[in-house]
Amino acid sequence: MTLDSGATAWILASTCLVMLMTPGVGLFYGGLVRRKNVISMVALAFLSYALVSVQWVLCGYSLAFGPDIGGFIGGLDYLGLSGIGMEATSLPIPDILFAAFQLVFAGLTLAILTSGVAERIRLSAFVLFGLLWTTLVYDPLAHWAWGGGWAASLGALDFAGGTVVHISSGFGALAIALVIGKRMGFGENSMEPHNIPLTLLGAGLLWFGWFGFNAGSAIAADGLASNALMVTNTAAAAGALAWLVASSIRGKSSAVGMVSGAIAGLVGITPAAGFVDVPSSLVIGAVAGLLCYSALLWRLKKGFDESLDAWAIHGVGGLWGAIATGIFASIGHTGLLQGNFYQFGINTIDALIAAGYAFIVTYVLALVIDRTIGLRVTEDEEYVGLDISQHGERAHA
């Protein structure tokens, strides 16, 4: 295929936009934890990006996008990005740019998962876990959806990562949270967010970066990318308002809740962004806001310390978004509302299998690491805070 300079310029910009989402996650999470752990949360986001950047170049890209092996994983043909050059082949952009664009998705996904270990993970254990998790969970799911794996071959639709990014990180966060255990004093001591403006800033960076996340996944600067950008923004706004209204019925209209609803809407529209119109995105975003808020309340009722709600927002929101894609698809594909029961069925099955795979593999992986080198810091280190015990640094007021 001939290289398209417009598409290349847009994907270069989109790659930068998505990369900005990773520190955005760090700021979002950093504001929600106690002051003694804010550096730790932001650092985990940067560490996630650094770890995956190396893993992706060495083997991750090949496992995700190499020649298909049994519908499950890619081959090792592209180890070290061997054969991935500056020319366009199957897409109108350089192969190396496509690899970079996919890299920032992978780095962001691991950063989202850190919600499940907030304020209690050993840094060395996270390094090992992050490398193994990306290899054993993220890479196979990326291959299933985008690299010629079984889900893609059966016709499952995932435009920008509902299963690959959000279901994997959300259900992975819940699994590792169950293994590592609750924070000391959870449910007994106050664990209020220490800096809500920091969280709002992080949410703003995420919303901004999401335009590259979804519109960039068109791999072109065209009408499809434009539609993806509009439905992305619409779903985010609908999610924000839906969560705001729901939370106001129960009490105050929380600012954190409002931006959490926006992220829920963004998550929900992600797999559908290239397949649905604007009216559908209003419904997808609003339902995502309400569903994710309900999931958060259920999580609190059950006493699970999935600290910063990656499961409630990304896991449940991603599950809804994947199913909603099979319901509302009308651009390039048809969904349930247009009589395509197969599309609804395969998208639902794909989402449930992705959720089960991510949860089970993450749980086993976390359990093995915990039983060998240990996932969690000591009680004294947790009491002092991870900023001091893991980084030797302190956030000042």
Q: Are strands 68-69 and 73-74 parallel, antiparallel or unpaired?
A: antiparallel
- Average pLDDT value for residue range 117-141: 97
Residue 250 has what pLDDT? Answer: 84
Pair 48, 38: CB distance under 8 Å = no
Q: DSSP 3-state assignment of 94?
A: strand
- Average pLDDT value for residue range 148-168: 98
Query: Residue 397 above 90 pLDDT?
Result: no
396 belongs to a structural domain: no
Name the percent of the chain in helix, strand, coil, to the closest 5. Answer: 75, 0, 25
Q: Is 185 left (phi over 0), alpha (psi -120 to 50) or beta?
A: left
Which domain covers residue 149, as residue numbers? 5-391
pLDDT band at residue 189 under the 50/70/90 scheme: confident
Query: Residue 396 above 80 pLDDT?
Result: no
Residue 150: other Cβ atoms inside 10 A: 16
Residue 253 has what pLDDT? Answer: 85
Pair 74, 68: CB distance under 8 Å = yes
362 belongs to a structural domain: yes
Closest listed residue to residue 208, CA positions, set 6, 66, 20, 338? 20
Q: How far is CA 96 from CA 130, 148, 215, 337, in A?
A: 24, 19, 19, 39
- Nearest-angstrom CA–CA distance, 217 and 161: 9
Q: pLDDT tens across 337-382, in order? A: 999 999 999 999 999 999 999 999 999 999 999 999 999 999 999 9
- Average pLDDT value for residue range 219-242: 98
Q: What is the CATH number of the domain that holds 257?
A: 1.10.3430.10
Residue 78 backbone phi and psi in degrees, to 5: -110, 25
Query: Residue 98 above 70 pLDDT?
Result: yes
What does R_g of the chain's alpha carbons equal in angstroms? Answer: 20
105 belongs to a structural domain: yes
Query: Residue 151 above 90 pLDDT?
Result: yes
- Nearest-angstrom CA–CA distance, 304 and 177: 8
Q: pLDDT tens across 297-311, in order? A: 999 999 999 989 999
Q: Is 71 left (phi over 0), alpha (psi -120 to 50) or beta?
A: left
397 belongs to a structural domain: no
Query: Residue 120 above 80 pLDDT?
Result: yes
Query: Residue 187 above 90 pLDDT?
Result: no
pLDDT band at residue 210 under the 50/70/90 scheme: very high
Closest listed residue to residue 73, CA positions, set 161, 147, 129, 151? 147
- Average pLDDT value for residue range 245-267: 93
Residue 338, both tokens: 């247009």
Q: pLDDT tens across 37-61, in order? A: 999 999 999 999 999 999 999 999 9
3-state per-residue secondary structure call for 318-358:
HHHHHHHHHHHCCCCCCCHHHCCHHHHHHHHHHHHHHHHHH
Query: Residue 101 above 70 pLDDT?
Result: yes
- Total domains, the chain: 1
| Entry pTM | 0.97
CA dihedral 18, 20, 24, 25 (to 10 degrees): 50
329 belongs to a structural domain: yes
Select the more confidently predicted residue: 270 or 250: 270
Q: Is 81 left (phi over 0), alpha (psi -120 to 50) or beta?
A: left
- Average pLDDT value for residue range 89-115: 97
Q: pLDDT tens across 5-15, in order? A: 999 999 999 99
Q: How far is CA 32 from CA 195, 206, 264, 378, in A?
A: 7, 15, 17, 22
Pair 291, 169: CB distance under 8 Å = no
